[in-house]
Amino acid sequence: MIGAMSDPLGNSLPARRPTVRRPGDTIFQFLTTASGLAIVLSIVLIGVFLLLKAVPSLAADQANFLLSPNFVTTGGKLAFGIRDLFVVTVLSSVFALVIAMPVAMGIALFLTQYAPRQLARPFAYIVDLLAAVPSVVFGLWGIKVFGPVLEPLERWLNGNLGWFPLFANGNVSISGGGTIFTAGVVLAVMLLPIITSVSREVFQQTPTMQIEGALALGATRWEMIRTTVIPFGRSGYIAASMLGLGRALGETVAVLIILRSAPEPSRISLFDGGYTFASKIASAASEFTEALPTGAYISAGLVLFVLTFVVNAIARWIAGGRVHRP
């Protein structure tokens, strides 16, 4: 910060003058800067660790890492690709988000704008409680209870809307519901508390003045929500959704339990089975004894890491772009 600065129009501004600094401020600044650096450092270290472990395996990979649908690391052969892991991960997570986003917005608006106070509190508490359910329970519930319930719906969609690629026949049987469709719906339920609680918080903070301004103009309740509450909370809602997406991308146990393993490559359908990055890695955890096969899984983990990072960056960009514009 030394030397002349310039404002957005390019006019130079005078440099900041030296001034008295209090020791408390200096110590506090040191502490906060150190914690900030520690976070950045640990992320960099994780990245470096993954990269170091992954490179030898990638070099030994006999298949195309990005495009091959197979993941073979046994029998002394290394031929792995992440295509299907990527497809299953993205498909299940995005499907989950597509379901969870509108429902979460509905719940958040209901809780903040429509529900009477006595009802809003316990209801919000119940939604938050969903976040406390362990994912293994979601997984068991998903495959034992919810999958069979969804099965007829899946069959109907497949039978009547099968011309739409996402509803076409997948690489596993729909019976029992061990499909991306079921996994996505269960993931959506898992995302609900995350997206809802953040959205509820931001919607709640819509300034009363704005709300009254809209109502005084003759807006109905819904029009008021559309003109003030939603624009005010939009960036927070989107950021919350991206947070949820990050969670869905990395969800392991529930997906592992629900998805049936598939004999064939993915057909990019919601009725596929298979593995996500996370569930694939978890499923192989007992085999992490030799360096090269382990490195193959670490490469997959690295891709998930980058994917999550990109999602977060996008969330930040969206949220920031809306908030800081005058």
Partner 1 sequence: MAKRIDIKGLNLYYGRFHAVDNVTLSIPPRNVTAFIGPSGCGKSTVLRSLNRMHEVIPGATVDGKVLLDGEDIYDAGVDPVEVRRTIGMVFQRPNPFPTMSIRDNVVAGLKLAGVRSKSRLEEVCERSLRGANLWEEVKDRLDRPGGGLSGGQQQRLCIARAIAVQPDVLLMDEPCSALDPISTLAIEDLITELKKDYTIVIVTHNMQQAARVSDMTAFFNLSGVGRPGQLVEADDTEKIFSNPGKKETEDYISGRFG
Give the interface with partner 1 as residue ranges (CB under 8 A). 117, 207, 209-220, 223, 227-228, 231-232, 325-326
The least CB distance from residue 306 to partner 1, in Å, is 33
Question: Which residue is listed with tokens 């976040």?
Answer: 131
Q: Cβ distance 54 to 298 under 8 Å?
A: yes
Q: Which is nearer to partner 1, 21 or 325 (CB)?
A: 325
Identity of the residue, 32 or 220, whose beta carbon is nearer to partner 1 in the bound complex? 220
CB of 231 to partner 1, least distance (A): 5
Minimum distance, C-beta of residue 4 to partner 1, in the bound complex (Å): 27
- Closest CB to partner 1 among 60 and 215? 215
Minimum Å gap between C-beta 19 and partner 1 is 30
The minimum distance between CB 244 and partner 1, in angstroms, equals 24
Q: Of 211 and 242, which CB lies nearer to partner 1 in the complex structure?
A: 211
Q: What pairs with residue 203 in β-bridges?
A: none
| Residue 318 beta carbon to partner 1: minimum distance, rounded to whole angstroms | 14
**Residues paired with residue 309 on neighbouring β-strands, in sequence order:** none
Rg (CA), the chain: 24
3-state secondary structure the chain: CCCCEECCCCCEECCCCCCCCCHHHHHHHHHHHHHHHHHHHHHHHHHHHHHHHHHHHHHHCCCCCCCCCCEECCCCCCEECCHHHHHHHHHHHHHHHHHHHHHHHHHHHHHHHHCCHHHHHHHHHHHHHHCCCCHHHHHHHHHHHHHHHHHHHHHHHHHHCCCCHHHCCCCCCCCCCCCHHHHHHHHHHHHHHHHHHHHHHHHHCCCHHHHHHHHHCCCCHHHHHHHHHHHHHHHHHHHHHHHHHHHHHHCCHHHHHHCCCCCCCCCCCCCCCCCCHHHHHHHCHHHCCCHHHHHHHHHHHHHHHHHHHHHHHHHHHHHHHHHHCC
CA separation for the pair 310, 65 (Å, rounded):
20
Give the shortest CB-268-to-partner 1 separation in angstroms. 38
107 or 214: CB nearest partner 1:
214
Shortest separation between residue 234's beta carbon and partner 1, angstroms = 9
Structure tokens at 107: 């719940």
Name the residue nearer to partner 1 (CB basis): 233 or 295: 233
When the beta carbons of 43 and 217 are compared against partner 1, the nearer one is 217
CB 200 within 8 A of CB 290: no
**Residue placing its CB nearer to partner 1 in the complex, 211 or 304:** 211
Backbone angles phi, psi at 268, to 5 degrees: 50, 50
Name which of 25 and 212 has its Cβ closer to partner 1.
212
Nearest approach in angstroms of CB 119 to partner 1 is 13
